[in-house]
């Protein structure tokens, strides 16, 4: 046996002195040095008693060491669980408990809060800070720069990514080695990545887009990353002449277009701009092409499947579409009730099948059975159609999912917090268009008879309970919610009523 994910993404670069990470301070970390760092971390994890299949939960800031932790987990046969740095202690408690994580890696600033939680749940705790300091790397410094790679099969689990459910209970999507590897190799080929590529990496690495697309694709091709802690407009403009590609969310592109320094000249060295995680406005497509001569390549993916479709590298990249199914991926449009395949051009639910599709939800067999059919097709929850030329269009979401700045937000999770506040009868949370984030969160609150809820106090309660990206931009007090004859809240009416609220 071997370890397909580690061998084909990381191991192939053993001994290479070629650059892998270009850091903001001018430092360059080679593939060889990165693998040495990963091996040292793997040795630490092994010495703590972790074995194949154990879960490693990591809520850390973006850093070379944080990325090496992912490689170390792959080499040691451990399941990597990256967690959004914005998650609160309440949210983290659920993730650690549900995953059964054996160890929690966190920033030293969070240790006092998370240590008792980890102890209660039987997990160890180590620290890793943005500058590479902390107990994890203190131990790693004394470790060998080699590690005997643990045998794993392609069907073995490599990562958990948690995605919120409509009931507010998060689901742990189980991703195998083959899920991650097949998608990386397919995308590297489809998007023509080579060892000469230098990717501007300004995405977070707790998310599919930044970790399993941008990073894995670069590794599969043997290229390098200009590794930025976050999207910083000045830094992106500074380094763009040295780069060949950029992967981003729509916010990246609207912010670039909002700066006069972003010109055709500064982008002339680039060969590819990719956008995903949220819909890109047609206006942004047009403005970007007029400014730079480049046409943004838009694609479609999700936590449970990595990437499903892509506009063509060579050919017509059509605004308002997400292109064609990737090689090896089957996509069909079905009737949400019967599951029957619909005629081309009809709108229905999107289902996909392929080597990229996850194994199921951790410890949720009923949820897995409801969304992952026995024949392997996954019901994405997105509504779409396939036009006469075969391009896939995403037209809506039948689960009321909000995507703001590339982050997935389910209204029910926020509604549960709002409904629990004093004087509140019920609430409805919707996504409305936003020029920078694609969508933003709007909360509609209905007061109990004779009550006047304190909206400021409600917002504070949300801030305490939920990550910042889930916070409503505004709360609105109404007398009642629109309902159909069956009593179901008609969120489509609310979305239409407030669609222009943040238009400018």
Query: Mind listing the pLDDT tens digit for each residue in 289-314?
Result: 999 999 999 999 999 999 999 999 99
* Torsion sign, CA atoms 350, 353, 354, 358: positive
Q: What is the mean pLDDT of residues 398-412?
A: 80
Q: Where is pLDDT greater, at 133 or 488?
A: 133
Compute the distance between CA of residue 224 and CA of residue 8 in angstroms, rounded to an integer: 16
Q: Where in the chain is the domain with CATH 3.40.50.12780?
A: 4-152
Query: What CATH code would you report for 402-497?
Result: 3.30.300.30
pLDDT of residue 491: 86
Count Cα atoms within 13 angstroms, Cβ side, for 58.
30
**pLDDT band of 215, cuts 50, 70, 90:** very high
pLDDT of residue 485: 46
Relative to beta strand 272-275, strand 297-302 is parallel
pLDDT of residue 68: 98
**Residues 419/452, Cβ–Cβ less than 8 Å:** no
Q: What share of the chain in percent tops pLDDT 90?
A: 81
177-198: per-residue pLDDT in tens?
999 999 999 999 999 999 999 9
**pLDDT band of 396, cuts 50, 70, 90:** low
Q: What is the mean pLDDT of residues 360-368?
A: 94
Q: What is the mean pLDDT of residues 451-476?
A: 94
**Residues 183/356, Cβ–Cβ less than 8 Å:** yes
Compute the distance between CA of residue 258 and CA of residue 273 in angstroms, rounded to an integer: 17
**Cα→Cα distances 45→48, 68, 126, 184, 434, Å:** 5, 12, 10, 26, 43
CA 343 from chain centre, in angstroms, equals 32
pLDDT of residue 1: 65
Count Cα atoms within 13 angstroms, Cβ side, for 148.
3
Coil vs helix vs strand at 158: strand
Most trustworthy range by pLDDT among 180-184, 276-280, 447-451: 180-184
Determine the straight-line distance between the first and last CA of the chain, rounded to whole angstroms. 57
pLDDT of residue 72: 98
Q: Where in the chain is the domain with CATH 3.30.300.30?
A: 402-497
Relative to beta strand 157-163, strand 124-127 is unpaired
pLDDT of residue 488: 64
Nearest to 411 by CA among 337, 486, 491: 491
Compute the distance between CA of residue 160 and CA of residue 81 in angstroms, rounded to an integer: 5
pLDDT of residue 395: 76
Q: Which two tokens stand for residue 92?
A: 């983290």
Q: Which two tokens stand for residue 198?
A: 């230098």
pLDDT of residue 76: 97
- Beta bridge partners of residue 455, listed in sequence order: none
Q: Does domain 4-152 have CATH number 3.40.50.12780?
A: yes
Q: What is the mean pLDDT of residues 454-468?
A: 94
**Residues 79/172, Cβ–Cβ less than 8 Å:** no
**Residues 439/501, Cβ–Cβ less than 8 Å:** no
For 367-414, give the DSSP string: HHHHHB-TTS-EEEEEEEEE-TTS-EEEEEETT--EEETTEEE-HHHH
Q: Which two tokens stand for residue 163?
A: 């995605």
Q: Which two tokens stand for residue 242?
A: 């040295």
76-100: per-residue pLDDT in tens?
999 999 999 988 898 899 999 999 9
Compute the distance between CA of residue 403 and CA of residue 228 in angstroms, rounded to an integer: 23
Q: Which residues contact 81 (CB under 8 A, 6 or more apart)?
A: 55, 56, 57, 58, 95, 99, 101, 159, 160, 161, 162, 172
Least confident of 126-140, 270-284, 348-362: 270-284
Torsion angle of C-alpha atoms 488, 493, 499, 500, degrees rounded to 10: -140
In 198-329, DSSP assigns E strands to 198-201, 224-227, 245-248, 272-275, 297-302, 306-310, 324-325
Q: Which two tokens stand for residue 43?
A: 């040795």
Q: What share of the chain in percent tops pLDDT 70?
A: 97
Most trustworthy range by pLDDT among 136-140, 300-304, 446-450, 484-488: 136-140
Q: Which helix (H) or strand (E) holds 237?
A: helix 233-239
Q: In whole numbers, what is the pLDDT of the chain averaged over residues? A: 93
Q: Which helix (H) or strand (E) holds 290?
A: helix 282-292
Q: What is the mean pLDDT of residues 357-382?
A: 94
How many C-beta atoms lie closer than 10 Å to residue 367's C-beta? 16
104-157: per-residue pLDDT in tens?
999 999 999 999 999 999 999 999 999 999 999 999 999 999 999 999 999 999
* Torsion sign, CA atoms 117, 363, 213, 263: negative
Q: Is the pLDDT of residue 166 over 70?
A: no
pLDDT of residue 337: 82
**Residues 333/348, Cβ–Cβ less than 8 Å:** yes
Q: Where is pLDDT greater, at 237 or 167?
A: 237
Most trustworthy range by pLDDT among 203-207, 216-220, 493-497: 216-220
**Residues 335/409, Cβ–Cβ less than 8 Å:** no
pLDDT of residue 486: 42
Q: What is the mean pLDDT of residues 53-70?
A: 97
Contacts by 91-96 with C-beta closer than 8 Å and gap 24+?
Answer: 91/170, 91/466, 91/467, 92/57, 92/59, 92/117, 93/117, 93/121, 94/170, 95/57, 95/162, 95/170, 95/172, 96/57, 96/121, 96/123
pLDDT of residue 282: 76
For 18-76, give the DSSP string: SEEEEETTS-EEEHHHHHHHHHHHHHHHHHTT--TT-EEEEE--S-HHHHHHHHHHHHH
Compute the distance between CA of residue 479 and CA of residue 321 in angstroms, rounded to an integer: 39
Compute the distance between CA of residue 178 and CA of residue 4 in angstroms, rounded to an integer: 8
**Residues 442/430, Cβ–Cβ less than 8 Å:** yes
């Amino acid at each position: 046996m071997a370890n397909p994910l580690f061998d084909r993404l990381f191991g192939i670069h053993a001994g290479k002195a070629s650059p892998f990470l270009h850091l903001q301070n001018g430092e360059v970390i080679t593939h060889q040095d990165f693998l040495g760092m990963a091996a040292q971390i793997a040795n630490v994890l092994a010495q703590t008693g972790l074995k194949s299949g154990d879960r490693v939960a990591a809520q850390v800031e973006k850093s070379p060491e944080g990325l090496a932790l992912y490689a170390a987990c792959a080499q040691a046969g451990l399941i990597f669980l990256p967690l959004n740095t914005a998650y609160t202690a309440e949210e983290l408690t659920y993730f650690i408990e549900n995953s059964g994580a054996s160890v929690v890696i966190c920033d030293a600033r969070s240790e006092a809060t998370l240590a008792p939680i980890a102890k209660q749940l039987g997990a160890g705790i180590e620290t890793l800070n943005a500058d590479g300091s902390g107990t994890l790397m203190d131990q790693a410094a004394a470790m060998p720069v080699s590690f005997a790679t643990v045998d794993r099969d392609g069907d073995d689990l490599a990562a958990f990514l948690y995605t919120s459910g409509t009931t507010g209970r998060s689901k742990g999507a189980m991703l195998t080695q083959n899920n991650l590897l097949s998608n990386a190799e397919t995308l590297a080929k489809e998007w023509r990545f080579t060892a000469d590529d230098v990717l501007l990496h300004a995405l977070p690495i707790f998310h599919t887009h930044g970790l399993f697309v941008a990073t894995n694709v670069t590794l599969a091709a043997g290229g390098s990353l200009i590794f930025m802690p976050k999207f910083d407009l000045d830094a992106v403009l500074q380094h763009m002449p040295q780069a060949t590609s950029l992967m981003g969310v729509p916010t990246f592109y609207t912010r670039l277009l909002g700066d006069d320094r972003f010109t055709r000249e500064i982008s002339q060295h680039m060969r590819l701009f990719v956008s995903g995680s949220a819909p890109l406005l047609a206006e942004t497509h047009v403005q970007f092409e007029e400014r730079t001569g480049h046409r943004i390549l838009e694609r479609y993916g999700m936590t449970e499947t990595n990437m499903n479709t892509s506009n063509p590298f060579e050919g017509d990249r059509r605004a308002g579409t997400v292109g064609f199914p990737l090689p090896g991926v089957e996509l069909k449009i079905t009737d949400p009730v019967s599951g029957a395949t619909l005629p081309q051009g009809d709108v229905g639910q999107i289902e996909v099948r392929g080597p990229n599709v996850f194994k199921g939800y951790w410890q949720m067999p009923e949820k897995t059975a409801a969304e992952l059919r026995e024949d392997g097709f996954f019901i994405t929850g997105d509504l779409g159609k396939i036009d006469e030329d075969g391009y896939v269009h995403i037209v809506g979401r039948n689960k009321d999912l909000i995507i703001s700045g590339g982050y997935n937000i389910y209204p029910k999770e926020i509604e549960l917090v709002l409904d629990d506040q004093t004087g509140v009868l019920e609430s409805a949370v919707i996504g409305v268009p936003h020029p920078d984030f694609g969508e933003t969160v709007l909360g509609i609150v209905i007061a109990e008879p004779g009550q006047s809820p304190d909206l400021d106090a409600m917002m504070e309660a949300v801030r305490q309970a939920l990550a910042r990206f889930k916070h409503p931009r505004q709360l609105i007090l109404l007398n009642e919610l629109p309902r159909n004859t069956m009593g179901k809240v008609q969120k489509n009416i609310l979305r239409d009523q407030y669609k222009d609220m943040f238009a400018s």
